[in-house]
Structure 1
Amino acid sequence: MGVRKYPKELKARAIRVCQDSDRPVKEIAAQLGIGYETLRSWVRRAEAEGIEAEAGLAGTDAARVAELEAENAELKRINEILRLASSFFASEIDQTRRWS
C-alpha cells in the first residue's frame, strides 16, 4: 500500500474536529474517510507542537463551523430515527389493511 496524500484543508479540519470534539478519534477518522492511525498521528503531532489547527478561519468562524458540524450530526441522528419510525408505522398500517 502506498503513501496517500491528503489535502492540507482536510488535515487541518480533521485535527480541529478532534481537538474540539469529545468523540473518539476512530469515529471521526471513519466519518472523514481517513485511516485511524493517520489521524491519530496528526493530532498527536499538532498537540506536541502546540499548533492550533485552522483552515484559514478566524477563531469565531472556527467555533461556528464546529457548532454547525455538531448540529448537522444531531440532525442526521434525528432523521435516522424518523426514517425508522416511518418505516415501522407504514408496515403496521399495511398489516391492518390486510386483515380488514
Structure 2
Amino acid sequence: MARPSKYSAEFRSDAVTLWRASDGRRTFRDVAADLSVNPETLRTWVRDADDRPASAAAASQDTEAELARLRAENARLAKAEKEWQMEREILRRAAAYFAREMK
C-alpha cells in the first residue's frame, strides 16, 4: 500500500500552476528548488494534471450532483422513518388499549 503524500492536493495544484505560469522560461529543477520538492516529483504532478484536466472537473460535478441527490434522499427517508415510528407507537398503544378492554 502506498503511503499518503506529504503534500496536499492544493500544494500540488499550486506547484503545477506556478510551473505553467513560467511559460517554459524556467525548468522543472528551478521551480522545484523554489518549492523544496524533487524535480521529478514536480514533473509527475504536471504530467498527472495534463492527463486529467477535463475528466477531473466532470467527475467533480458528477460527484456533487450525486451527493446532492443522496442528501435529498436521506432527508426524505428520515422524514418517512419518523412518520413510521409515530404510526407504530399509535398502533402499539391501540393494541394495548384493546387488550385491556378484552380482559
User: Bigger relative contact order, structure 1 or 2, given CA contacts below 8 A and separation 6+?
Assistant: 1
With the shorter chain as reference, the TM-score category is: 0.3 to 0.5
Q: Which has the larger radius of gyration?
A: 2
| TM-score normalized by the length of structure 2 | 0.44
| TM-score normalized by the length of structure 1 | 0.45
